[in-house]
Amino acid sequence: MDFALTQDQETLRSSVRDFLQKECASTVVRRACDSDQPYDVELWRKAADLGWPGLCIPEEYGGVGLGWTETALLAEEMGRALFPGPYLSTLLSATAILAGGNEETKQRYLPKLADGSFIGAVALFEGRGDRPEDIRLKARPSDDGYVLDGVKLFVTDGTAADVIVVAAAGENSLQYFVVDSTDRGVSTEALPVVDRTRRQAAISFAEVQVPSSNMLDGQIFEFLRDRAALFIAAEQTGIARRCMEMSVEYAKTRQQFGKPIGVYQAVSHKLADMYMLVEHATSLVLFAAWAADEDNQTCSLAAWRAKVWASRAAKAATGDGIQIHGGIGFTWEHDLHLYFKRAKANEVLISDSLALKELIADRLED
């Protein structure tokens, strides 16, 4: 039982951090936020050259074949840097196709998702509800496959996507389809979201024809939700740690009443609490990632816990971070608001803390 990263994983982390410090500085993030383009294409290409989109896709489908621990590491660093690219959405679409696609579908989509030439997205939710029974978009059998009809909301990076995995209500159960964004009847509308570092879309499917071969096998809703929870938890941890570091640095240098403000316990004790939150988030994410690679039985619960706690840590570190920075922290000019908004958006992304705690409570009674 050695509960720590391996040397290779530490090396990966530092190379990812170096790359992002160089290529994904605040100026790049802000440019992406202000842009009409749904993501920074140049940054995405550079990341794809390093193999990131295919990090946990098996080598036989053109990926690097690493696991969820490495993916979580990458996510943590992306949170730190507010990576403004369609990584999570592409990862989730590949995860869905890998879990439920037939060989032909896998061969058609996975290599392109792995090398970054295709952007993927998953379209699960249609409103406030985040349980399988809340899915209403209809899948109707037709002569040569299925017809999809309905509207999906909160599709992360939906405007950038070439490939969309859609959850639909079939005759008796939920069904999942891989749809090309250029298919007839698919129309995408950007949502004006508060967190500009990660775009979202509403996508309507008006009588969209999908071949049977594009249907995915199995019930992958929970699987996607829980892997997303793990990834977002890791991002939140990166956000929290970065904002804690910024606030500690500020508290050491900012002088008021003739002393650095970190001398005052009203400030330093906030930072001590932040440290506790961030350390626990790191622990919970590390375990959930390990469970995702080793043992699917405990992975879901571990990922729920990690997402709820890391979201709490990220909200505290960004919110109290703004408070510690005072006036400058409240300005558009300072980066803290970008972190604050991403932390809040992440908290409700895919599944929110209230819903996840409800799932955890169910397990407590088992």
Partner 1 sequence: MSWPKEYGGRAANPFEQVIYLSELARVRAPETVGVIGLNMAGPTIIVHGTEEQKNRYLSKILSGEEIWCQGFSEPGAGSDLAGVTTRVIRDGDEYVVTGQKVWSSHAQVADYCILVTRSDPQSSRHAGLTYLIVDMHSPGVEVRPIVQITGDPEFNEIFLDEVRVPASNILGSEGDGWRVAMTTLMHERGTLGVALQVRSQLILEDLVKLAQNTTVNGERMIDRAAVRDALAGFDIEVEAMRLTGYRSISNFARTGVPGPEGSVLKLHWSEFNQRLTEFAWELLGPYSQVDGGSAHSIQDGKWQYEFLRSRGNTIEAGTSEVLRNIIAERVLGLPRSR
The least CB distance from residue 105 to partner 1, in Å, is 37
- Ranges of H-type helices in the chain: 7-23, 26-34, 41-49, 68-81, 87-100, 103-114, 221-253, 265-294, 296-325, 336-348, 353-364
How many binding residues for partner 1 (CB under 8 A)?
40
Which residue, 52 or 250, has its beta carbon nearer to partner 1? 250
Which residue, 223 or 309, has its beta carbon nearer to partner 1? 309
The least CB distance from residue 308 to partner 1, in Å, is 6
The least CB distance from residue 20 to partner 1, in Å, is 23
Residue type, 22: K
The least CB distance from residue 274 to partner 1, in Å, is 9
Which residue, 211 or 326, has its beta carbon nearer to partner 1? 326
As a whole number of angstroms, the distance between CA 329 and CA 320 comes to 10
The residue whose two tokens read 């990131």 is 52
Print the binding letters for residues 297-326 with partner 1: x by CB under 8 A, - otherwise.
-----x--x--xx-----------------
The least CB distance from residue 267 to partner 1, in Å, is 8
Print the binding letters for residues 220-249 with partner 1: x by CB under 8 A, - otherwise.
----------------------------x-
As a whole number of angstroms, the distance between CA 65 and CA 54 comes to 8
Contact status: 354 vs partner 1 (CB under 8 A): yes
Region of 73-81, 190-198, 209-217, 357-365 interacting with partner 1 (CB under 8 A): 357-365
Which 250-289 residues touch partner 1, going by CB under 8 A? 251-252, 259-260, 262-265, 268-269, 271-273, 275-276, 279-284, 286-287
The least CB distance from residue 139 to partner 1, in Å, is 33
Task: Please give the backbone phi and psi of residue 161, each rounded to the nearest 5 degrees, phi first.
Answer: -70, 140
Which 4-23 residues touch partner 1, going by CB under 8 A? 4
Which residue, 309 or 340, has its beta carbon nearer to partner 1? 309
Minimal CA–CA distance to 326: which of 275, 253, 274? Answer: 253
Which residue, 228 or 286, has its beta carbon nearer to partner 1? 286
Contact yes or no for 83/235 (Cβ under 8 A):
no
Sequence-distant contacts of 134-139: CB under 8 A, at least 24 apart: 135/167, 135/168, 135/169, 135/174, 135/221, 136/169, 137/166, 137/167, 137/168, 137/169, 137/205, 138/168, 138/169, 139/168, 139/169, 139/170, 139/175, 139/177
Q: How far is CA 33 from CA 40, 159, 197, 328, 332, in A?
A: 9, 14, 6, 20, 12
Region of 65-73, 88-96, 334-342, 350-358 interacting with partner 1 (CB under 8 A): 350-358
Structure tokens at 345: 């958006």
As a whole number of angstroms, the distance between CA 70 and CA 79 comes to 14
Contact status: 361 vs partner 1 (CB under 8 A): yes
Contact yes or no for 102/133 (Cβ under 8 A):
no
Instruction: Give the binding site for partner 1 (CB under 8 A).
Output: 1-4, 248, 251-252, 259-260, 262-265, 268-269, 271-273, 275-276, 279-284, 286-287, 302, 305, 308-309, 354, 356-358, 360-361, 364-365
